[in-house]
Structure 1
Amino acid sequence: MAAATTLSQSPKREAFGSRNVFILSAIGSAVGLGNIWRFPYVAYEGGGGAFLIPYLCALLTAGIPLLFFDYAIGHRFRGSAPLAFRRIHRAAEPLGWWQVLICVVIAVYYAVIIAWAAMYTWFSAQLSWGPGNEEAFFGIDFLQSEDVGEVGLSSTFVPQVGIPLAVVWVVVVVIMALGVKRGIGVANMILMPLLTVMFAALVVQSLFLPGAMEGLNAFFTPNWTALADPAVWASAYGHIFFSLSVAFGIMVTYSSYLKRKTDLTGSGLVVAFANSGFEILAGIGVFAALGFMAQAQGVEVAGVASSGIGLAFVAFPTIVSQATGGSIIGVLFFGALVFAGITSLISILEVIVAALQDKLGWGRVRTTLTVSIPLAIISMALFSTTTALTVLDTTDAFVNAFGIMAVALVAVIVVAWLLHKLPQLQEHLNRRSSFRVGILWRLLVAAVAPIVLGYLFITGLIEKIAEPYSGYPVWFLGVFGWGMAIALVVFAILLSLVPWSSRSHAKDDDEYDEFLADEHYDPDPETAALRLPVAEQRGDIA
């Protein structure tokens, strides 16, 4: 019994200081690089102003319902993704580890983009690339990129990438080691207001550039014929899934840190609409700047519009070179990328740290270092070398299509159709929430989401099977593309077979039982069955 007493006195699960801190943290996770460099181009290509129709439909019929789905699982089952899914049903635990491993892959390459943005913040202040040399500077002078055929054979270390990448990892590790309340919560309380102010200043600066109105006309003028294209609707749904951080395990983990009496759906609506508001703000700022760039070069906006890395590290430096006060625009833009990236990266890492804490029963600092040091080493090895760009491009494409989409599809089918847990999750959402959900929410999660996710997954699969992605060698795609996607599933199953620490499980189960009693829930039969071996280990059962 002495051992049991010691276990019961273990520190309780960490929690956010308040609902507002959770909301800022959730917005910080959702508002990332994709909001700034992906959404404006996706909207422009999808019909400009007309794209707002499929975008809002996707937000209301899939994004917000799945956000509530994640919140309900995390808050109701009080654990990291693997523990929460295990408490739903023992066989569902691999779903949680699948999400954890997706976060492992994303964290490894996400950090290097933050490092690039940090360096370009400094470069912007000095216009280091030189007018007209922006593309060559990024690919040759800065990244020193080599052909994909050289991957793993003669890649060399690039100091101007490796050093800031190491700094990014140190900063993030410190935040993570401080914990949920003193680390993640405080970081988001500081960085999110700064990000908002910086990006608002960038938008104002961009609006006063010559040609800004032409850019905004290109962005907002509706192309109604685009609405007849199924690819536009698929693009809207695909973007919403990534933008709101659903199916990553992030919102499951973050909601497990919420206090018992929290308005879940009200918080979710604030997060979802704040994220969308930031995306529209980003579209205004980016296309105002692209309008200036088009006018300066004497071309249409379509001739300079781009997305992703090309927009951030080629198009924007060109704007910085040509605009009056361009250095200020560059510092604001790349500084915003750094802050948005850090808030998203810490949420990604928290999924991994929380999962191992729950599984192994380790302390915060030990778990953080055990997770972060290997990831930092892998990140440095792959992405501070001359072959970083091709590895990043391939890994990102496959983890999105065959990681996030796949696990979201499987999770919804398992929870909604095989385990029939949606009524229980609906009841939990409605216990404390200001916005109540009903049969429509269950229909959207159980029917609309699987149809859309299945369509996106199958079309992505057909596209990548039809021809090698970006023309890369088959062996390369086999390692960093298909091989990585398959390995995620295999290792998720293997991790679910690793025994849970009796110390961790006892502590979490005690708190979980306390939560159930406080909420007047009957213990789940599945959860009770999972507790038995732990109780035996503690000596509570003869």
Structure 2
Amino acid sequence: MEQEWNSILTFILAMIGLTIGIGNIWRFSYVLYSNGGGSFFIPYIIAILIMGIPFLILEYGLGFSFKGSFSKLMYSLRPEFEMIAWALVLFVFIVVIYYMVILGWDFAYLLNSFNYGWGNNPASFFTASVGGSSDLTKSTTLILLTLFCTLILWAVFWFITYRDINDGIGKLSKILIPLLFIIMLFIFIYSFTLPGAYLGIETLLRPNWLSLLDINIWLAALGQIIFSLSIGQAMVYTYATYLPKNSKLVDEVLLVVITNSLYEIFIAIGTFSILGHMSFTSSIPINELISEGTGLIFIVFPEVFNSMGIMGHILAPLLFISILIAGFTSAFALFEPLLSSLCDKFKWDRRKGVTILVIIAGVCSIIFSTGIGSYLVGIVDEFVNNFGILILIGVQAIIFGWFYGVEKLIPVLNEFSTIKVGKTWVFIIKYLLPIFLIAFWLNGTINLFNNSGSLEIAVDLIITIIVVGFSVLLTKLNPKAD
């Protein structure tokens, strides 16, 4: 790789942008609340220690040492592993396609936030004008507002990404990440002052110690860490390939993990402060307001803003701007693994690769801009993450632990780091991670197919055929020669 971050600060801000995404805002608060409240912090911290930090250290070490695309790394271990790499980066590329559509929804709400264009019924507005529904008769209907907003975002995305990483992603991260923290700090502090905020915080953090005996609580903690820190999805690895010399790898991992965790914890507390306020002022039980995903951001919060008077007109744009920032910086990282692998294999320059992939992704975005867009996003997101990406993360743990030999990374990781790794880290990578990841994948797969109807299975099958087909094709085309 010829490209390199121009400073460690640029890399750290880009990594924080990678890990902090819309999932931190709309997912973690619900996971915390529904999995034991305050008692959930025990499995959460343990999952960080045995899953998040060790795997991120592995990816930092591999990227820093190898300085090549993920597909090239896997090919260098064994040629047959290249297909695994293509499958992973293709799954991640599918994520960025629908992820940008979700940001298109957010952009549409941002445009409507100044005058509360969602009206008195945000749920109806979302269904009719933004995300659609599960009504299959609407599958051929385009939602023009969503398509328009998504294509604008793809154009901006192209303009930033086709540049050198420092002029594009790096420079923007230096602006957006501090701005994101300023906006969210303002929302967080203000939410504390709202009447009834204490009700939401108490509801969120009330511990249920018996929940620690439930295996599903521990699996939820593992899942939160996997997707919150984006481990094993070739994004962290790809960003680490751009690291300059003398990087304190282990120290930088810990800084990013701590920042990400504090951010999502504070956002969860702020979210429940606002929900507590709405419950207090409207006399609606707080458990009836609690939601996750699109329901929280695009339905519940607009209802809250409707009841807040003048302050709602300030908070609403700030919230949707912060979601846009968090999502955009994560989208850059989701895009990089496939871009890096294609450019490495076919000797494309960055501008050519970015242009081709943005055009493909923009066209595919149309599928999720139909009258069943949100329904399709839910199906694809569950399958890609809980089935496709999860099993490939587990396979990676086995490959890097047993075929690569992680022991050889220890001198590289410890050379400049203040905090050192050793035999315990190797044990976790070789033994604990594969067991936990495969168990988590099996649990997710069982739940996925138990809850799938004929349409869901058909969509899953189509995605599988596309990913496997292109993985085979890309592996066989123009074999690598060093």
TM-score bin, normalised by smaller chain = over 0.9
Q: Which residue of 1 aligns with 2:463?
A: 484
Alignment deviations for residues 313-350 of structure 1 (CA, whole Å, 9 cap, x no partner): 01110111111311212111111110001000011111
**Code of the aligned partner of 1:120:** Y
Q: Which residue of 2 aligns with 1:519?
A: none
2:415 match: secondary structure: helix
Contact 1:398 / 1:482 at 8 angstroms: preserved in 2? Answer: no
Q: Which residue of 1 aligns with 2:33?
A: 44
Which is further off, 297-306 or 72-81?
A: 297-306
Contact 1:62 / 1:237 at 8 angstroms: preserved in 2? Answer: yes
State which of 83, 87, 90 in structure 1 corresponds to 2:72: 83
How far off its partner does 1:428 sit?
2.3
**Code of the aligned partner of 2:74:** F
1:14 match: secondary structure: coil
Q: Distance in 2 between matches of 1:91 and 1:17?
A: 35
Q: Distance in 1 between matches of 2:451 and 2:261?
A: 34
Q: Which residue of 2 aligns with 1:28?
A: 17
Whether 1:399 aligns to 2:347 is no
**Code of the aligned partner of 1:463:** N
Q: Which residue of 1 aligns with 2:472?
A: 493
How far off its partner does 1:490 sit?
4.4
Whether 1:193 aligns to 2:178 is yes
Whether 1:216 aligns to 2:204 is no
Q: Which residue of 1 aligns with 2:331?
A: 345
Q: Which runs of 4+ in 1 moved over 6 A?
A: none
State which of 439, 442, 449 in structure 2 corresponds to 1:465: 449
Which is further off, 138-147 or 301-310?
A: 138-147
How far off its partner does 1:300 sit?
2.8
1:140-159 alignment to 2 at 5 Å?
140-145=128-133, 147-148=135-136, 151=139, 155-159=140-144
Whether 1:378 aligns to 2:357 is no
2:420 match: secondary structure: coil
Whether 1:360 aligns to 2:346 is yes
1:496-511 alignment to 2 at 5 Å?
496-500=475-479
Q: Distance in 1 between matches of 2:144 and 2:367?
A: 13
**Code of the aligned partner of 1:313:** F
Q: Distance in 2 between matches of 1:485 and 1:202?
A: 41
Alignment deviations for residues 417-444 of structure 1 (CA, whole Å, 9 cap, x no partner): 2x15111122321223222111111111
How far off its partner does 1:446 sit?
1.5
State which of 122, 131, 152 in structure 2 corresponds to 1:134: 122
Whether 1:309 aligns to 2:294 is yes
Structure 2 residue runs of 5 or longer lacking an equivalent are: none
Q: Distance in 2 between matches of 1:208 and 1:304?
A: 20
Give the TM-score normalised by structure 1.
0.86
**Code of the aligned partner of 1:491:** F
How far off its partner does 1:96 sit?
2.0
Contact 1:360 / 1:500 at 8 angstroms: preserved in 2? Answer: no
Alignment deviations for residues 374-405 of structure 1 (CA, whole Å, 9 cap, x no partner): 111111x2122112111111000000111221
Q: Distance in 2 between matches of 1:455 and 1:444?
A: 15
Q: Percent identity over the alignment?
A: 32
Alignment deviations for residues 450-507 of structure 1 (CA, whole Å, 9 cap, x no partner): 1211111111222233342xxx4x1x22332243145424432332222257xxxxxx
Contact 2:12 / 2:252 at 8 angstroms: preserved in 1? Answer: yes
State which of 451, 468, 483 in structure 1 corresponds to 2:435: 451
Contact 1:77 / 1:88 at 8 angstroms: preserved in 2? Answer: no
Alignment deviations for residues 43-97 of structure 1 (CA, whole Å, 9 cap, x no partner): 0111111111110000011011011111111111111211122233333222321
Q: Distance in 2 between matches of 1:211 and 1:201?
A: 18
Figure out how many residues of one structure are paired with residues of the other and give that number. 481
Structure 1 residue runs of 5 or longer lacking an equivalent are: 1-11, 502-529, 532-542
How far off its partner does 1:287 sit?
0.6
Whether 1:409 aligns to 2:394 is yes
Contact 2:132 / 2:374 at 8 angstroms: preserved in 1? Answer: no
**Code of the aligned partner of 1:492:** S
Alignment deviations for residues 182-215 of structure 1 (CA, whole Å, 9 cap, x no partner): 1010111111111111111111221122111100
Q: Distance in 1 between matches of 2:110 and 2:18?
A: 22
Contact 2:129 / 2:145 at 8 angstroms: preserved in 1? Answer: no
Contact 2:89 / 2:233 at 8 angstroms: preserved in 1? Answer: yes
Contact 1:205 / 1:329 at 8 angstroms: preserved in 2? Answer: no
Give the TM-score normalised by structure 2.
0.96
Structure number with greater Rg is: 1
How far off its partner does 1:149 sit?
5.6
How far off its partner does 1:296 sit?
2.5
Alignment deviations for residues 292-323 of structure 1 (CA, whole Å, 9 cap, x no partner): 12223313322211111111101110111111
Alignment deviations for residues 346-383 of structure 1 (CA, whole Å, 9 cap, x no partner): 1111112111110111111111101111111111x212
1:344 match: secondary structure: helix
Contact 1:304 / 1:315 at 8 angstroms: preserved in 2? Answer: yes
2:225 match: secondary structure: helix
Contact 2:92 / 2:233 at 8 angstroms: preserved in 1? Answer: yes
**Code of the aligned partner of 1:339:** I
CA separation of 1:110 and 1:216: change in aligned 2, threshold 3 A: same
Q: Distance in 2 between matches of 1:144 and 1:455?
A: 35
**Code of the aligned partner of 1:30:** T
Q: Distance in 1 between matches of 2:250 and 2:22?
A: 25
CA separation of 1:408 and 1:21: change in aligned 2, threshold 3 A: same
How far off its partner does 1:150 sit?
5.1
Q: Distance in 2 between matches of 1:42 and 1:371?
A: 33
Q: Which residue of 2 aligns with 1:73?
A: 62
Q: Distance in 2 between matches of 1:437 and 1:143?
A: 46
Q: Distance in 2 between matches of 1:144 and 1:441?
A: 46
2:119 match: secondary structure: coil
